[in-house]
Amino acid sequence: MSPEVLLIVLIVVLIASTTLEQVARALQIRHQPPEPPPEVAEAVDADAYATAQRYARDRGRLGLARGVTLLTVWIVLLASGALAGGYALADAWTNGGWLAPLLFLGGVFLLLDLISLPFAIYATFGIEARYGFNRTTPGLFVRDKLISYALTVVLGGPLLALLFWSIDAWGGAFWLPYAAVIALVLVLLAMFQTSVLLPLFNRLTPLPEGSLRDAIADYASANGVALDGIYVMDGSKRSSRANAFFAGLGRQKKVVLFDTLIERNTVAEVVAVVAHEVGHERLRHIPKLLAANVAAITITLFLMSLLVESSTLSAALGASERIVALNLIGVALLFGPVSTLLGVLGNALSRRFEYEADAFAARTASAAAMCDTLRSFVQHDLALATAHPLYTALELSHPAPVERIRAITTTDATAP
Ligand SMILES: [Zn+2]
């Protein structure tokens, strides 16, 4: 394939993936029935239901503007040869040293992030604020951004340097040893997520005394759960929306409840959420998802190894010689459809785990309370009640509320 044809292929792949994303979102918004579906109707009023549709449309429009902007930037970067020019600049600054590729990729990352920034600001202080969800102050927004940049440099920098070193040392065979390193890093990150990473952004506190703690203690002792592994997080400092999650590996395993969930939902509903998160722990969903992630990254690295030393790819991006850092960008764009496919598989696995955790909550706590919690996400957090199959496949790690309620009620009815 000639560099010119390869450049056209890259641009076509980019346009196709942006189109697919936007079509899926449009289908998702159109897919919603005009009235609340029967599964949620008892807890969702017509007003909240209509507001949820407007909220989705507003976010959809912003997503479209962001998607088209980034697509345009990429096409300009690719077609103008600016990427090769940028690399030459980084190379000159560092006198051809080992920092050149890191500086170049860091620069591309920063450029794309700064272009996305106005959209992120409008999402938080425009849309989220308009619908009454936002509680992030400008100061907190800046602080979050700076910490994210620092983490990217501290974690991403050395990993990227190691990647270039591995390609240098092993050529096309770099993918296997490097995948092993990434696997180790992912395990460490999962292990220390709640003890090191999360505290950079949020505060975790033990469950406060009261009827909720008593109810959770009853559930915990009946089901052999350690009560001191259940924490409350100050999610309210960024948003009024409610959530909960289970994270960590080994001794660092934690069930984390947002303070907003505790404020808003009934004791029975919060216990059902705790049971759902305990389900994720009991059914070993974290290590399973981690293994799936490692498999996906290994496949991606292997594909990368096929093209990372290609002179044609560098030429397609405007360089007169082979440049590995440039090829990494080319490979990432070219294999976008493969990442999409791996994402579809990952989402499917994650949704299966959500159904399993819901069933666990229905079995060990209360099916009715779990369904009520899901209804509260539609009524209060303006979650869309149903989901189009294409949007589900591409975007959703959690099934739509109506589908989860349906699964819980049918399983519950057939339970012995
Ligand atoms: Zn879950």
Q: Own/partner pairs for 181-187, CB < 8 Å, 24+ apart?
A: 182/294, 182/297, 182/301, 183/294, 183/297, 183/298, 185/155, 185/159, 186/290, 186/293, 186/294, 186/297, 187/249, 187/290
Helix 324-334 vs helix 157-170: crossing angle, to nearest 10: 100
Please state which CATH number belongs to domain 204-264: 3.30.2010.10
Q: How much is the average pLDDT of 44-71?
A: 97
Distance 397 CA to ligand 1 centre (A): 9
* CA dihedral of residues 125, 128, 130, 136 (deg, nearest 10): -50
Is the per-residue pLDDT at 309 higher than 80? yes
- Residue 366's φ and ψ, nearest 5 degrees, are -155, 125
- The structural domains of the chain, with segments of one domain joined by +, span 3-134+283-413, 204-264
**Mean local confidence (pLDDT), 12-24:** 97
pLDDT at 193 over 80: yes
Q: Kindly give the distance from the C-alpha atom of residue 351 to the centroid of ligand 1, in angstroms, as a whole number.
A: 8
Question: Average pLDDT of 89-101?
Answer: 94
Structure tokens at 306: 């096929």
The pLDDT value given to residue 351: 98
Give the DSSP letter of residue 131. T
Mean pLDDT along residues 21-39:
96
Burial label, 312 (beta-carbon count in 10 A; 0-12, 13-18, 19+): middle
Question: Within its chain, how far is the Cα of 115 from the centroid?
Answer: 20
Distance 145 CA to ligand 1 centre (A): 27
For ligand 1, the distance from its centroid to the CA atom of residue 249, given in whole angstroms, is: 16
Count Cβ atoms below 10 Å from residue 279 Cβ, excluding itself.
23
What is the percent of the chain where pLDDT is above 90? 95
Question: What residues have CB less than 8 Å from 355, skipping those under 6 apart?
Answer: 399, 404, 407
Distance 277 CA to ligand 1 centre (A): 6
Mean pLDDT of the chain: 96
Alpha-carbon dihedral angle through residues 301, 306, 312, 318, given to the nearest 10 degrees: 0
How far does the centroid of ligand 1 lie from the alpha carbon of residue 276, in Å? 6
What confidence score (pLDDT) does residue 132 get?
A: 96
- pLDDT beyond 60 at 359: yes
Distance (Å) from CA 243 to ligand 1 centroid: 10
Contacts of 173 (CB under 8 A, 6+ apart): 305
| CA–CA distance, 17 with 26 (Å, rounded to integer) | 14
- Which of 105, 98, 108, 3 has the alpha carbon at shortest distance from 320? 3
Q: Please list, in sequence order, all residues whose beta carbon lies within 8 angstroms of the beta carbon of residue 378, skipping any fewer than 6 positions away.
A: 36, 40, 43, 44, 48, 49, 52, 384, 385, 401
Residue 266 to residues 211, 305, 366, 376, Cα–Cα distance (Å) = 11, 53, 12, 10
| Residue whose token pair is 């009261």 | 210
What is the DSSP code (8-state) at residue 386? S
pLDDT at 118 over 90: yes
Inter-residue contact 399 to 392 (CB < 8 Å): yes
For the residues of 72-125, what is the DSSP string, one character each? HHHHHHHHHTHHHHHHHHHHHHTTT-THHHHHHHHHHHHHHHHHHHHHHHIIII
Question: 92 C-alpha vs ligand 1 centroid, how far in Å?
Answer: 49
Q: Say yes or no to pLDDT of 414 above 70.
A: no
- Between the CA of 340 and the centroid of ligand 1 the distance, in Å, is 22
Q: Give the pLDDT of residue 251.
A: 82
pLDDT one-digit tens code per residue, 229-276: 999 999 999 999 999 999 988 888 999 999 999 999 999 999 999 999
Helix (H) or strand (E) holding 173: none
Residue 413 pLDDT? 52
The pLDDT confidence band at residue 416, using thresholds 50, 70 and 90, is: very low
Task: Determine the distance separating the centroid of ligand 1 and the alpha carbon of 89, expressed in angstroms.
Answer: 46
Per-residue pLDDT averaged across 310-325, rounded? 96
State the average pLDDT over residues 135-140: 98
How far, in Å, is the centroid of ligand 1 from the Cα of 177?
33
Residue 292, CA distances (Å) to 194, 284, 288, 301, 345 in order: 21, 13, 6, 14, 9
CA of 103 to the centre of ligand 1 (A): 39
Sign of the alpha-carbon dihedral angle for 365, 254, 264, 409: negative
**pLDDT of res. 121:** 98
Across residues 370-396, what is the average pLDDT? 97
pLDDT in tens, 264-307: 999 999 999 999 999 999 999 999 999 999 999 999 999 999 99
How many of the other CB atoms lie within 10 Å of CB of 258?
Answer: 23
CA of 116 from ligand 1 middle (Å) equals: 29
Residue type, 232: V
Compute the distance from residue 101 Cα to the ligand 1 centre, in Å.
39
Q: Give SS3 for 47.
A: helix
